[in-house]
Amino acid sequence: MSEQKIPYKIYLEESEMPKYWYNVRADMKTKPAPLLNPGTLEPMKPEELAGVFCDELIQQELDNDTREYPIPQEILDFYKMYRPSPLVRAYCLEELLQTPAKIYYKYEGNNTSGSHKLNSAIAQAYYAKKQGLKGVTTETGAGQWGTALSMACSYFGLDCKVYMVKVSYEQKPFRREVMRVYGASVTPSPSDTTEVGRKILAAHPGTTGSLGCAISEAVEVAVSNPGYRYVLGSVLNQVLLHQSVIGMETKIALDKYHIKPDIIIGCAGGGSNLGGLISPFMGEKLRGEADYRIIAVEPASCPSFTRGVYAYDFCDTGMVCPLAKMYTLGSDFIPAPNHAGGLRYHGMSPILSQLYDDGLMEAVSVPQTAVFEAAEKFARIEGILPAPESSHAIKVAIDEAMRCKETGEEKTIVFGLTGTGYFDLVAYEKFHNGQMDDYVPTDEELAKFRANLPKVR
Ligand SMILES: *Cc1c(COP(=O)(O)O)cnc(C)c1O
């Protein structure tokens, strides 16, 4: 097929949309390490998780073997309202960069929640409803997950209680209001509404909060209120499973034009968009059918992959959740107030952690100002105002395209553009006013948090 025939946007018909989620664990030779009970250090049994999570989601969480999960019709129907998301050929960016590289991006920002998080929110709300629950609790950092979950809960008629990291609650009043439009209650975290919140406030007065604190509060509320369960927007295996819809659509679209990517790039906070985007490609790589370079991009201020350790750690600051083996900075790591709120988590998906440890993917970290420079370059030529999180992937996609320019290689680059930046204009304002700093934690600081990792074996 000649170059000109590839359209700016590759569409999928409704009939071409993925009918199942792909579980990459089925093809992993080394499975991700199991969640451990923090008391006994034994693998968590489904019944121990049942007070915290919805039953079917627990089954998905622990299932390392089933390759394909048919997407329930109710979820497919909701997906049809805002999916497929566009796969765009960045012709204009290529022209600007004068690169021989071919650049594609998968844009997940075209729904009201503004990010890919809705793909898993609707699935999790569906299973909660199916189980006959009253509602769900969760935490949100930058606000995208809380917004997505509020939308999903209102669609299925579930109550939704969101604990929002305090710094975001104050910096992003508009996100908070969107959640309230969809009927959610939103509490800044740490708060005095929970025991763990009161404890954290007493230990760190004036703290602006962290995802880890907010998770502890949301879990406490779920386990102490009958008919409620806790849901999480990233990190967990089930979330990567739901997000595989991103990768499935991307692969179906590329296959239509016989396009094989050389490099796949995504930003990584807890790893869900990247895990979802790469899943079917990683599956081919694991089965020895194809090879791809896969790059995770994280902020230099919160470098879980590039400077963390692969160890069992708590998923939350309050140490109420199971232990997960992951690349981590330590569960009490509170990053500098980086403006990519969705990338501020101390740990990383256990699936991606294992793949990274096995050398099947790479990771790089990038400083904040360079990310915003790339974001603006992209916005001015491709039109879309990107989320700061997504812009980490833009930055590295541009770097790779420039490398192709030096070597003359015509590589095909695909990156995940996870969301819109409409609610991040305070961050863009700081960038324009030269008030953005590129704080990077020192080795001494990181060692201090690492020293507090739980001792497992
Ligand atoms: C939450 C979020 C991320 C990071 O989360 P992952 O689980 O790593 O995907 C990235 N981009 C946007 C827009 C987000 O909302």
Task: Tell the residue nearest (CA) to atom 13 of ligand 1.
Answer: 419
Domain closes at, from 230, 253, 280: 230
On the question of pLDDT at 161 being above 70, the answer is yes
Q: Decide: 273 in ligand 1 pocket, CB within 6 A.
A: yes
Q: Given a cut of 50, is residue 1 above it in pLDDT?
A: no
Beta carbon of 111 within 6 Å of any ligand 1 atom: no
**What residue type is 82 in one-letter code?**
Y
Tell me: do 191 and 334 sit in the same domain.
Answer: no
The residues that bridge with 299 in the sheet, in sequence order, are 366
pLDDT in tens, 408-447: 999 999 999 999 999 899 899 999 999 998 999 999 999 9
Does residue 100 sit in the same domain as residue 138? no
Tell me how far the alpha carbon of residue 389 lies from the centroid of ligand 1, in angstroms.
6
For the domain that residue 218 is a member of, what is the CATH number?
A: 3.40.50.1100
Q: Model pTM?
A: 0.96
Q: Is residue 457 part of a domain?
A: no
Give 4's contacts (C-beta < 8 A, 6+ positions apart): none
- 239 located within any domain: no
Confirm whether 223 is domain-assigned.
yes
CA of 235 to the centre of ligand 1 (A): 10
Residue nearest to atom 10 of ligand 1 (CA): 389
**Residue pLDDT, tens place only, 21-57:** 999 999 999 999 999 999 999 999 999 999 999 999 9
* Ligand 1 probe mutation, 117, 244, 315, most atoms within 8 A of CB: 117
Residue 418 Cβ inside 6 Å of ligand 1? The answer reads: yes
Tell me the C-alpha distance between 277 and 275, whole Å: 6
168 lines ligand 1 (CB under 6 A): no
Atom from ligand 1 closest to the CA of residue 115? 13
Q: What is the pLDDT of residue 4?
A: 53
88, 123, 210 from 103: Cα distances, Å: 8, 30, 35
User: Which atom from ligand 1 is nearest to the alpha carbon of 114?
Assistant: 13
**What is residue 3's predicted lDDT score, i.e. its pLDDT?**
53
Q: Is the CB of 389 under 6 A from ligand 1?
A: yes
Task: Answer whether residue 455 is part of any domain.
Answer: no
> CB-based contacts of 418: which residues, under 8 Å, 6+ apart?
108, 109, 115, 116, 266, 267, 273, 342, 387, 389, 390, 393
Please check whether residue 236 lies inside any domain of the structure: no
Q: Are residues 275 and 348 in the same domain?
A: yes
> 94 and 128: one domain?
no
Residue 329 pLDDT greater than 60, yes or no: yes
Asked if residue 192 and residue 216 are part of one domain, the reply reads yes
Q: How far apart are the C-alpha atoms of 190 and 216, rounded to whole Å?
A: 9
Question: Strand 68-70 relative to strand 20-22: parallel, antiparallel, unpaired?
Answer: antiparallel
Residue 268 beta carbon below 6 angstroms from any ligand 1 atom: yes
Percent of the chain with pLDDT strictly greater than 70:
99
Residue 1 Cα to ligand 1 middle (Å)? 34
387 C-alpha to ligand 1 centroid (Å): 9
237 part of a folded domain: no
Q: What three-state secondary structure class fits 314?
A: strand
For the four alpha carbons of 279, 266, 119 and 79, in that order, the dihedral sign comes to: negative
- Whether ligand 1 lies within 6 angstroms of the CB of 419 is answered as yes
Q: Which residue among 139, 245, 273 is best mutated to probe the pocket of ligand 1, counting the most ligand atoms within 8 A of its Cβ?
A: 273
What lies within 8 Å, CB to CB, of 361 at 6+ separation is 278, 282, 294, 295, 296, 352, 355
Q: Is residue 302 part of a domain?
A: yes
For residues 440 and 378, state if they share a domain: yes
Closest ligand 1 atom to Cα of 419: 13
Ligand 1 in reach of 436 Cβ (< 6 A): no
User: What is the side-by-side strand order in the sheet with 87-89?
Assistant: 9-10, 87-89, 102-107, 412-417, 263-267, 293-299, 362-366
Residue 368 near ligand 1, beta carbon < 6 Å: no
| Domain coverage including residue 191 | 22-68+117-230
> Ligand 1 within 6 A of 390 CB?
yes
Rounded distance from Cα 244 to ligand 1 centre (Å)? 14
Residues 168-182 pLDDT 10s: 898 888 999 999 999
Q: Whose CA is nearest to atom 1 of ligand 1?
A: 342
Q: Is 109 in the pocket of ligand 1 (CB under 6 A)?
A: no
Tell whether 395 and 255 lie within a shared domain: yes
Residue found under tokens 């603006």: 376
User: Which has the higher per-residue pLDDT, 174 or 457?
Assistant: 174
Specify the 3-state DSSP secondary structure of 195: helix
Last residue of a domain, one of 230, 254, 273: 230
Residue 309 above 80 pLDDT? yes
Q: Quick one: 87 and 197 in the same domain? A: no
Ligand 1 centre distance from Cα of residue 342 (Å): 5
Q: Which atom of ligand 1 is nearest to the CA of 141?
A: 1
3-state helix, strand, coil split of the chain in percent (to 5) is 45, 15, 35
pLDDT (average), residues 372-393 = 98
Q: Is the pLDDT of residue 338 over 90?
A: no
State in Å: Cα 2 to ligand 1 middle: 35
Q: Based on the domain organization, do 174 and 38 belong to the same domain? A: yes
Number of domains in the chain: 2
